[in-house]
Amino acid sequence: MTLTMSERYAVLLLAALSLNASAVTVSIQMYIPAHCSYPTGSIYAQPQGGTEPYTYSWNTGSTEAWLYDLVAGTYSVTVTDANFDQATAEFTLTPWPFEAYVEGMVGCPDGASGPPFRLIGQSDLWTTGVPPLTLQGNYVSDVITGGPGALAALYVTTFDTWPAPGTPLSIPFTDVNGCPGTIFGTVPDAPAFPEMQVLSVDAACAGGNSGSALVQVDEAPNDDPYYIRLVREGSPYGYLANQYTNGQMYGQVPYSTLRQDLPSGAFTLVTQPRFEDPWEWLGTYFNVIESYCTDTAWFTIPEMPAPCGTLRGIVHMDDNQDCVLAGQETRVPNEVLLIEPGGYTAMTNSIGYYQINLPTGSYTIDQASAVLDEHCVGGAIPFNLGSNGQEVTQNLADTALIPRDVELFLGSSAARPGFNHELFLHIHHQTLGGTGTVTVSCTFDPALSYTSASPAPSNVNGNTLTWTLAQLTSFGHRHISVNLQVPANPALIGTILQHSATVSIAQPETDLTNNNAVHTRTVTGSYDPNDKVARTSSGSSDAYYFIDQDEWIDYTIRFQNTGTDTAFNVVITDTLPPTLDPATFELGPRSHSCITQLGGQGVLRFIFNNIQLPDSNVNEPASHGLVQFRIRPRSPLVPGTLIENIANIYFDFNPPVITEPSVLVAEFSTGITADAALEFVLAPVPASDQLRIVSGTMIDLVTILAMDGRSIARQRVSSTTTTLDVSGLNSGAYLLITNNADGSMYRTPFTIVH
């Protein structure tokens, strides 16, 4: 179709009108202001409409959309679109005052143990101008420049008194050229250092790095991260431990650190606030003695009095029986090692490692385990420490003597009318491999009532609790605590409570004799909350160890925080007497997680780090704790031997509470004494077919009760001796009660094993 001249003119007119409707426009926006007379400003042209691409022409000669490094002044731009349409704009950059922001803290508010209290922030041409800065009021500042790529740090401090924490700050300043600005911030809280405590110290050999210290660093009240530096004899000795993971540093979580590589000497632990990224580089600037606000603790590594050397190593399962420690082979924890001559002992930690300092000389090292055997030598392994400071590494490669063995321990807290009575069950897998499902049953004395347990039982049936638990892996253990209520009846004082427990596993187990436990506790009134009590395996007496009946002794060390504040750490030391064999030590139930150490010539330590035991005025039920262990007397044991033992209980930094001695007298059960407990004897214990009773008092009636309180058997006697047929009773725990001619009653637990 051919258009006429008038039609062509109309089309061109419409096109022109359309172009004018979308004509190009431009505005100028500020990105960064210009500060004072410095070239800190940045602006950019923002065109709209028209047809892209655009070209730019600034009065500065630039042809880019953005202008950088501008001083205050007036700037204009002309934008041309693809159709050669143009638009112009003008913008005036006015000089802005500086604004700097500070936060955080380095230093001490009072300046007494470090530099003055300082706030930290970023310093550059855009925030502070050119240092040095002059601050109004009693404030001063300095700027520290970091390495390549690092920020410059602005510090603000005062030689006057800081306002209260939380006070907003607005501090006018001028830079070196008189350009004004304001520093903004908030006064933070003062440093809240984590509590530090040295829980144990062991001596070092002269000239060697074989001393050890166990340090507990609690969580800081402000959860800030901290460095812990070591200073020895006034000289830096590195960090207590290197930590890099944010959220897992000293001060942010409780930490226990065991150093076993320290020389003798006086050490200082120095706590310092820690810079967080991106200011970590500033640590190098202030990393000198007493340059931060600090908190300190002190300890001394003594020197062994005689020439000595160090024996160390790892006890491990030798899976391929090549007598070489491999990376994936299972380590054996809590394994007691006997070193002769001298009766020295060492015990492996949770990863199978042991270390002990010994006088120079020739020795042998052997394991005391009944379920594991060092198969490479097949007996005591000789080694020699011939010179002062010599170090010898002796790993022990083990195989299992039995496929699986699970052992059950049962302990309890004090029982007082109207108070909580707590049972503690400890299940320990003594060898290698998985157990399959673990089933635990506990029957408590029917005179008590159940309130709670941790973990909660799978089933509660009367006074019997049952748990179905996941399997235990190699050398694994599990704890169960049960809270019971003693009736508020003073007439119960003197009553013997009896509890029993059993454990079974899904996998076959060859030794079932240690899968059951019976435990008794006498209801008492007022008592010493920090004590050490002994119970023999037969349970026949609290005063005598019967040489012909008893095999071992269960010691229970109980403690209570009766102070006026929380106890953060509790340490118990127990130097075993020569009458007890440390090679037979077995750890039993404990109320809280603890680190157990056995070393020297039978020195036990139970370290309850970060226990946070409340004081009895705040939470009486939770103010208690205990630990139980099993041990055998040394053989041969002569009648009349006193087995006497005490414990020292340390609550944080307080002097030790020394328990009353726990005393047992070694005797044969046929001996005659005036002691009532000795006048009443059951034999054999445990029983299988017959149970013989010998009493110093005429017996009228004998009753056998099951643990649920049911009467199982009853027999008239009218004699001081009798024999009961128990062959028809099932294996388990029972309570025997005698009603005597003089009106007295005697109650004692016993077990039957078929």
| Cα dihedral value 566, 569, 570, 575, nearest 10 | -160
- For domain 308-400, the CATH superfamily is Immunoglobulins (2.60.40.10)
Contacts of range 25-33, beta carbons closer than 8 Å, 24 or more positions apart: 25/49, 25/50, 25/87, 26/77, 26/79, 26/87, 26/88, 26/89, 27/89, 28/75, 28/77, 28/89, 28/90, 28/91, 30/91, 30/93, 31/66, 32/126, 33/93, 33/94, 33/96
Task: Give CA–CA dist 108/118, Å, rounded.
Answer: 8
Res. 197: pLDDT tops 70: yes
Task: Give CA–CA dist 351/519, Å, rounded.
Answer: 32
Q: Name the architecture of domain 98-186.
A: Sandwich (2.60)
Q: Which residues contact 592 (CB under 8 A, 6 or more apart)?
A: 608, 611, 613, 625
Res. 142: pLDDT tops 50: yes
Cβ distance 136 to 173 under 8 Å?
yes
Domain with CATH 2.60.40.1930 in the chain: 676-752
Task: Give CA–CA dist 224/192, Å, rounded.
Answer: 8
Range from 7-21, 356-370, 606-620 carrying the lowest mean pLDDT = 7-21
Indicate the SS3 state at residue 84.
coil
- Answer yes or no: CATH 3.40.50.620 is held by domain 676-752: no
- In this prediction, residue 353 carries a pLDDT of 96
H or E, element range at 612: none
| Cα dihedral value 214, 215, 219, 220, nearest 10 | 180
Q: Which residue carries 């002190």 as its tokens?
A: 298
More confident site: 229 or 679: 229
Q: Taking the alpha carbons of 101, 104, 106, 109 in that order, is the dihedral positive or negative?
A: positive
Residue 284's pLDDT band (cuts 50, 70, 90): low
> For residue range 658-685, what is the model confidence (pLDDT) as tens digits?
998 888 888 876 433 334 444 677 878 7
More confident site: 357 or 112: 357
DSSP 594: -
- In this prediction, residue 479 carries a pLDDT of 96
- 20: Cα within 13 Å, side-chain hemisphere: 6
Residue 343's pLDDT band (cuts 50, 70, 90): very high
- In this prediction, residue 11 carries a pLDDT of 40
Res. 109: pLDDT tops 70: no
Cβ distance 752 to 726 under 8 Å?
yes
- In this prediction, residue 300 carries a pLDDT of 96
DSSP for 456-498, please give it.
Answer: PPSEEETTEEEEEEPPP-TT-EEEEEEEEE--S-GGGTT-EEE
Question: CA angle at residue 187 from 186 to 189, to 5 degrees?
Answer: 125
What are the two backbone dihedrals, phi and then psi, of residue 744, each rounded to the nearest 5 degrees? Answer: -80, 170
Res. 90: pLDDT tops 90: yes
- In this prediction, residue 737 carries a pLDDT of 83
CATH of domain 22-95: 2.60.40.1080
What are the two backbone dihedrals, phi and then psi, of residue 251, each rounded to the nearest 5 degrees? Answer: 95, -30
Cβ distance 557 to 623 under 8 Å?
no
Res. 252: pLDDT tops 80: yes
- In this prediction, residue 456 carries a pLDDT of 97
Task: Give CA–CA dist 597/343, Å, rounded.
Answer: 16
Phi-psi region of 8 (alpha: psi -120 to 50; beta: other; left: phi over 0): alpha
- In this prediction, residue 288 carries a pLDDT of 35
Q: Which residue carries 């020195």 as its tokens?
A: 603
Q: Which residue carries 């009228």 as its tokens?
A: 700
Res. 634: pLDDT tops 50: yes
More confident site: 30 or 653: 30
- In this prediction, residue 602 carries a pLDDT of 92
- In this prediction, residue 136 carries a pLDDT of 93
- Residues 552-577: what's their mean pLDDT? 94
Range from 160-164, 288-292, 345-349, 652-656 carrying the lowest mean pLDDT = 288-292
> CB neighbours (10 Å) of residue 554?
22
What are the two backbone dihedrals, phi and then psi, of residue 78, each rounded to the nearest 5 degrees? Answer: -115, 130
Q: Give Cα separations from 251 to 166, 192, 246, 587, 665 (angstroms).
A: 22, 9, 11, 31, 50
What are the two backbone dihedrals, phi and then psi, of residue 379, each rounded to the nearest 5 degrees? Answer: 175, -160
More confident site: 291 or 713: 713
Task: Give CA–CA dist 210/315, Å, rounded.
Answer: 19
- In this prediction, residue 283 carries a pLDDT of 60
Cβ distance 355 to 210 under 8 Å?
yes
Of 484, 482, 483, 489, the closest CA to residue 417 belongs to: 489
| AA identity, residue 172 | P
Tokens matching residue 425: 């069950």
CATH of domain 402-409+431-526: 2.60.40
- In this prediction, residue 281 carries a pLDDT of 64
Residue 547's pLDDT band (cuts 50, 70, 90): confident
Q: Which residues contact 4 (CB under 8 A, 6 or more apart)?
A: none
**Strand pairing report for 180-186 and 98-106:** parallel
Q: Name the architecture of domain 196-301.
A: Sandwich (2.60)
Cβ distance 647 to 572 under 8 Å?
yes
Whole-number percent of the chain with pLDDT over 70? 90
- In this prediction, residue 276 carries a pLDDT of 60
Domain with CATH 2.60.40.1080 in the chain: 22-95
Range from 73-77, 312-316, 430-434 carrying the lowest mean pLDDT = 430-434
Tokens matching residue 56: 């730019």
Cβ distance 567 to 196 under 8 Å?
no
- In this prediction, residue 719 carries a pLDDT of 84
- Residues 193-204: what's their mean pLDDT? 92
Cβ distance 294 to 114 under 8 Å?
yes
Cβ distance 502 to 408 under 8 Å?
yes
Domain with CATH 2.60.40.740 in the chain: 528-671
CATH of domain 528-671: 2.60.40.740
Of the ranges 367-376, 526-535, 570-579, the best mean pLDDT one: 570-579
Res. 3: pLDDT tops 60: no
Range from 14-28, 308-322, 385-399 carrying the lowest mean pLDDT = 14-28
Task: Give CA–CA dist 437/503, Å, rounded.
Answer: 11
Residue 292's pLDDT band (cuts 50, 70, 90): low
Res. 278: pLDDT tops 80: no
- In this prediction, residue 510 carries a pLDDT of 82
- In this prediction, residue 241 carries a pLDDT of 94
> For residue range 113-141, what is the model confidence (pLDDT) as tens digits?
455 667 888 889 999 999 999 999 888 88
> For residue range 36-85, what is the model confidence (pLDDT) as tens digits?
999 999 999 999 999 999 999 999 999 999 999 999 999 999 999 999 99
- Residues 20-45: what's their mean pLDDT? 90
The two counts, helices (H) then strands (E), for the chain are: 3, 57
Round the average pLDDT of the chain to a whole number and report it: 87
> For residue range 608-622, what is the model confidence (pLDDT) as tens digits?
999 999 999 999 989
More confident site: 165 or 337: 337
> CB neighbours (10 Å) of residue 283?
15
Q: Give Cα separations from 78 to 71, 94, 161 (angstroms).
A: 20, 21, 57
Q: Which residue carries 């009318």 as its tokens?
A: 417
- In this prediction, residue 674 carries a pLDDT of 32
Beta bridge partners, 682, equal 693
Res. 277: pLDDT tops 80: no
Task: Give CA–CA dist 174/180, Å, rounded.
Answer: 4
- In this prediction, residue 10 carries a pLDDT of 42
If you count them, how many residues does the chain have?
A: 754
